[in-house]
Structure 1
């Protein structure tokens, strides 16, 4: 795993990147989310998560894996938006 954003990216970016890339394997994605809930569960971590989502969606036209992942990321964003509206 390349943690290129370590120290320079928004809080939770690396955890979010791992989580988003694990979405094709729901059981693993759930485990990642649980392990990093302290980062991904707060407003600062949400910025990192949104940043990671944006990067994947922007690359979806250029990177075949991201094209496959984009629908899962969009679905996650719908879920994330609904959770934000409830909070």
Structure 2
């Protein structure tokens, strides 16, 4: 399936237009939904709404792959809102 590749709330306008397509390509079904959900985890109520709306594609292997794919940039300090802040 075609994917956006960097799908998060800052790439969606109020009217629903999707911006910033430079990373598009092929990925498993659910990839962009899983990215959107992962990026929203810092805002639990928003993440819950996204999961509820997109559960049919989030509850797939793509969701696990996206989570694993985000571990490397988070470990380098990217996306600090997704890092474990518990100190563990």
Q: What is the TM-score normalised by the length of structure 1?
A: 0.62
**Structure with more helix by fraction:** 1
After superposition, the C-alpha distances for 1:25-81 in whole angstroms (9 at most, x for unaligned) are: 00000000011012123xxxx22111110111011232432x441338xxxxxxxxx
**Structure with more strand by fraction:** 2
Structure 2 regions of 5+ residues with no counterpart?
1-10, 12-19
Query: Is 1:11 the counterpart of 2:29 in the alignment?
Result: yes
Query: Is 1:70 the counterpart of 2:83 in the alignment?
Result: yes
Structure 1 regions of 5+ residues with no counterpart?
73-87
Shift >4 Å, 4+ stretches:
none
Q: What root-mean-square deviation, in Å, do the aligned CA atoms of Structure 1 and Structure 2 show?
A: 2.2
- How many corresponding residue pairs? 66
Q: What is the TM-score normalised by the length of structure 2?
A: 0.62
Summarize the alignment of residues 1-87 of structure 1 with structure 2, pairs less than 5 Å apart: 1=11, 2=20, 4-5=23-24, 8-41=26-59, 46-65=60-79, 67-71=80-84
